[in-house]
Amino acid sequence: MRYTPYVDPGAPSLWLDESPASQLPALQPGAHAVDAVVIGLGITGATAALELAEAGLSVLALDAHGLGWGASARSGGFLLVEHAIEYPARRARFGRERMQTVIEMARSSHELIEQRFARAAEHKRCGSLILPMAEDESEQRTLAEAASLLQEDGVPCSQGAGHEGLDGFAPGLSIPEDGEVHPGRLLAAVGAEAGRAGAKLRQGLVADVDTKQRVVTTADATISYGIAIVAVNAWTRRLLPHVDIRPQRAQMLATRPLGPMRKLGPVCYGCWGYDYFRQRDDGRMLIGGRRHLHRESESTDASVPTAAVQDDLEAYLARHLRAFGPFEIEARWSGIMGFSPDELPFWEALSDGAGTASTHVLGGMTGHGMGLGAVCGQTIARSCHRELSAVEQRRTQLLHADRLRS
Ligand SMILES: Cc1cc2nc3c(=O)[nH]c(=O)nc-3n(C[C@H](O)[C@H](O)[C@H](O)COP(=O)(O)OP(=O)(O)OC[C@H]3O[C@@H](n4cnc5c(N)ncnc54)[C@H](O)[C@@H]3O)c2cc1C
């Protein structure tokens, strides 16, 4: 057995502190045998576990820590139809047809969350506001180009938008269909639903996946499986070293409530999408980003907030959101994202000793897994138990790891 030490995910986020149901009972030692094992319970794995359990399979779903303790419940909780400022570059690179599939996937993911978990996850279609920096003409031009391409491709959006109290930005782009969730409560709700459907969700650190024998190993248990879904995203290479997913840290902070009311309606992005902020209904302002100023130190899977990035986040509040202050910082946290080589998620099916594709690796969610992870997990889980529809087949064609080899 190969021992793969796991990097501690760090202190919980504000979201995790508010979601005690994200904690899991420990896996019993000994031998287990199931139809399906899911490894990693972020948004991707939790949705896959739900799909498989609802299809009637016996499911054991494991996470090293708890539901959402990786990136998912440390995220901003923005649900976006697409990363708008990057749309011109992504459309040029992948083509219009494939970007239509990405948009369809993001919309389906958002609808799945809205239809099944809206209340528990505090979901809102609050819209997003993408703001270029006032001094960056190149960013302003790119956003204008993004707006016309998105409109051409069926994403309603309007240019020239701004918001009272925000400083240092040029007029931005408003996308009304985008939304927000409480990611900790979302994960707890998906897990609870999977549990009701019969999945056993357990805390357990997987040390090895023997894809040929179809056996998963922890320190004191073995699990024989029919199919496995490996959804450990940033930590994939620790289990399957050949899979090219690279860890990238991202950091956030939350202020104390800034008053009795939420004054900032949409979720916001600035500076080429690197910076993001939102206000909760309880008045707390949450902000993340500034990673692009610290590229070397943030290329890591050590989940600890650093003074350098946190100071920059505070400076950003003072510079661009001053009118909402004064600010008192209540929580700071970091999370680890998994970047794919081309920044779209991918899926790879690994064969067992009999040549059957029984282990499915799904990851590389990059910076937008809250918007895409649910549909990715659901679709790949579906492909394990039934024929896919034409729309679902387009998704698996897009996700297939072959695209990275061509
Ligand atoms: C600060 C921050 C802000 C972000 N903001 C947004 C946002 O607003 N919108 C958006 O769309 N995306 C955002 N993202 C990105 C998004 O969070 C991720 O893309 C998404 O959560 C990935 O989901 P996942 O389920 O694939 O992986 P994860 O949520 O990382 O889940 C992987 C799970 O695998 C578990 N695991 C790892 N190794 C093992 C092992 N050996 N055994 C058992 N379990 C294991 C981990 O504990 C973890 O829970 C943000 C990320 C960060 C860090």
What is the domain partition of the chain in residue ranges? 14-74+184-245+343-405, 125-179+248-337
Which residue puts its alpha carbon closest to atom 37 of ligand 1? 232
CA-based nearest residue to 188, from 18, 380, 375, 377 = 18
Residues in the chain: 406
Please give the distance, rounded to the nearest whole angstrom, from the Cα atom of residue 311 to the centre of ligand 1. 24
Neighbours of 79 (CB within 10 A): 30
Q: Is 315 helix (H, G, I), strand (E, B) or coil?
A: helix
Q: Which residue has the tokens 């993911």?
A: 109
Q: Which atom of ligand 1 is nearest to the CA of 72?
A: 21
User: Is 231 in a helix, a strand, or coil?
Assistant: coil
Q: How far apart are CA 262 and CA 207, in angstroms?
A: 45
Give the pLDDT confidence score for residue 8 in this predicted structure.
64
In CATH, 14-74+184-245+343-405 is 3.40.50.720: no
Task: Find the 204 Cα to ligand 1 centroid distance in Å.
Answer: 17
* Helix-then-strand count for the chain, H and E: 12, 18
DSSP code of residue 138: H
The distance in angstroms from the start CA to the end CA of the chain is 33
Element (H, E) at 373: helix 369-383
- Separation of alpha carbons 361 and 347, rounded Å: 6
Q: Which two tokens stand for residue 228?
A: 């496995």
User: CA 10, CA 294: separation in Å to the nearest integer?
Assistant: 19
List 253's β-bridge partners, or say none: 287, 332
Q: Assess whether the C-beta atom of 61 lies below 6 angstroms from ligand 1.
A: no
- At residue 405, the pLDDT reads 85
Whole-angstrom CA distances from 373 to 30, 266, 329, 378 are 31, 22, 30, 8
For ligand 1, the distance from its centroid to the CA atom of residue 223, given in whole angstroms, is 24
pLDDT, position 20: 87
Q: Are 220 and 1 in contact (CB under 8 A)?
A: no
Does residue 326 have a cis peptide bond before it, meaning omega lies within 30 degrees of 0? yes
Measuring CA to CA, which residue among 280, 248, 242 is closest to residue 78?
Answer: 280
pLDDT (0 to 100) of residue 393: 98
Contact predicate 271/84, CB 8 Å = no
Given ligand 1 and candidates 112, 220, 233, 360, which is best to mutate, with the most ligand atoms within 8 Å of its CB? 233
At residue 227, what are phi and psi to the nearest 5 degrees?
Answer: -130, 150
Q: Residue 7 has what pLDDT?
A: 54
Query: Which ligand 1 atom minimizes the distance to the CA of 338?
Result: 19
**Strand, helix or coil at 404?**
helix
Could you tell me if the CB of 16 is within 6 A of ligand 1? no
pLDDT tens over the chain, length 406 residues: 343 445 566 778 999 999 988 999 999 999 999 999 999 999 999 999 999 999 999 999 999 999 999 999 999 999 999 999 999 999 999 999 999 999 999 999 999 999 999 999 999 999 999 999 999 999 999 999 999 999 999 999 999 988 899 999 999 999 999 999 999 999 999 999 999 999 999 999 999 999 999 999 999 999 999 999 999 999 999 999 999 999 999 999 999 999 888 999 999 999 999 999 999 999 999 999 999 999 999 999 888 999 999 999 999 999 999 999 999 999 999 999 999 999 999 999 999 999 999 999 999 999 999 999 999 999 999 999 999 999 999 999 999 999 998 7
Distance CA 109, CA 378 (A): 9
Q: How far is the CA of 330 from the centre of ligand 1 (A)?
A: 22
- The letter for the amino acid at 107 is R
Say how many Å lie between the CA of residue 215 and the centre of ligand 1. 24
- Among residues 173, 166, 204, 172, the alpha carbon closest in space to that of 69 is found at 204
Asked if residue 166 lies in contact with residue 320, where contact means CB atoms within 8 angstroms, the answer is: yes
Q: Determine the topology of domain 125-179+248-337 in CATH.
A: D-Amino Acid Oxidase; Chain A, domain 2 (3.30.9)
C-alpha span between 258 and 180 (Å, rounded)? 19
* Residue with CA at minimum distance from ligand 1 atom 3: 75
